[in-house]
Structure 1
Amino acid sequence: MQKNKGFTLIELMVTIGVLAIIASIAAPSMNDFRKNQQIKEQENKLRLALTEARTEARLQNKPMTVKFSSATSGASNTIFIDIDDSKFDFNMKNKKIVFYSNGLADISDGACLSISELDGEHTRAIKIDKLGILSNTSSCPGGV
């Protein structure tokens, strides 16, 4: 009598069931990871634009403005940042920051930019001091 080598139907069904359970456990954490990565992407976009404005102000020896709105035609020495407001909530007291040729920012007591998902589950914040230095913070003081 020849011995069959292979898997029975029951063994395959048990294996598929175990894999389905493991996948259902991993799915919520993958969704959370994806949302967190999208917020980080927006934070990096903000950070890059702010750093670029500060650097350009020093290189060109003239003020550079960062505006948090859609671009308008004819604006010189201005960097526009357009946040996707259908997915993210962006908060800042004033909607522009000016960097001068010495690298300083036109903000007397510093500024804080907060970006979060519309449901408010994931939030990232960037603090800008009057020297124009960027730093991460857990949240902005005063909710903005």
Structure 2
Amino acid sequence: MNASANNLPQQLRMTSSGFTLIELMVTIAVLAIIAGIAAPSISNQLANQRVKSTTATLANALKEAKNESLIRRQEIEVSYDNTSNTIKLKINASGGTKDEINTYQYDAKSTINSTGTEIEFKPNKTADDMIFTICDSNTSISPRQITVSKIGIITGQLGVTC
């Protein structure tokens, strides 16, 4: 026969309800182990996302500079600064100065390396030949690369080294 909890005396019902301390400790230990296994994977995912985001930001800045040089019929310069994490588009103004057209921000944990410090897009649909490599502070992440050809074609690839 199966006795239900309602047929037990009041004192027995009160002592058998709830979880024991050992059950709670085992549950918390299992959750801690699961969290410990998942944490490195999450940090790698975040670093991958940072590199993708910085790559997309740089590619958008380069495409905008290419289009602006065609529209304005002037040379557009793209430069980056890893200390302030900015990408700047500039145009030659009167008096030899350069006016800023647009500024892009990228993540502080990402760095951009290239074969030069600035690239110019010309109105005749040409550009300086340059390779940009986007790296992250997490060195286990695969860097990305953006290549700009002499005829202004912007391409990206994965799996390069910093």
The two structures, once aligned, show a CA RMSD in angstroms of 3.0
Matched, 1:101 2:123: yes
Question: Of residues 51, 55, 59 in structure 2, which corresponds to 1:47?
Answer: 59
Question: Of residues 64, 67, 73 in structure 1, which corresponds to 2:76?
Answer: 64
Q: Distance in 1 between matches of 2:29 and 2:139?
A: 35
* Structure 2 counterparts to residues 1-144 of structure 1, below 5 A: 1=8, 3=13, 4-69=16-81, 74-76=97-99, 87-107=109-129, 111-118=130-137, 120-122=139-141, 123-138=143-158
Q: Distance in 2 between matches of 1:119 and 1:19?
A: 26
Contiguous gaps of at least 5 residues in structure 2 = 1-7, 91-96
Q: Distance in 1 between matches of 2:137 and 2:49?
A: 15
Residue correspondences, number = 137
Q: Distance in 2 between matches of 1:39 and 1:63?
A: 28
Q: Distance in 1 between matches of 2:36 and 2:159?
A: 32
Amino acid at match of 2:64: E
Question: How many percent identity over aligned positions?
Answer: 35
TM-fit CA distance, 1:82: 7.2
CA offsets per residue over residues 44-96 of structure 1, 9 Å max, x none? 22112111101111221222111224769x41366666777x74443211211
TM-fit CA distance, 1:104: 2.5
SS at match of 1:30: helix
Structure-1-length-normalised TM-score: 0.74
Tell which structure's C-alpha radius of gyration is larger.
2
Q: Distance in 2 between matches of 1:26 and 1:39?
A: 21
